[in-house]
Structure 1
């Protein structure tokens, strides 16, 4: 269990994912929409864990594009 929590925290740091407070509705919809896109593309599973290591690069590029950094 501790290993999974540690992996979740590493994933959040690496991809800029973070827990959004429920009272922050402006960002919660965007966050949920991003998760839906990533699930539809099979980049993450139902527990929001990255599925295949080889796809982590594609996931990172997607995040950068969505954040308008590239």
Structure 2
């Protein structure tokens, strides 16, 4: 677990989450992941969840869904 970093969450996340939920019809937990990535400058996430596809594309976040997506 020492390879992982827990990112802080503050009050900035709420409006970003709400906007993402509305814009991309995301569930709150998915919106929280995308909002955290945006606020921390993370440009790539990995998930098998297809719900991330439109949000990642719209927010210019690379979505890795399989090993061939890694360039």
Which category describes the TM-score, using the shorter chain as reference length?
Answer: 0.3 to 0.5
Considering Cα pairs closer than 8 Å and 6+ residues apart, tell me whether 1 or 2 has the greater RCO: 2
TM-score (norm 1): 0.34
TM-score (norm 2): 0.34
Q: Which has the higher strand share?
A: 2
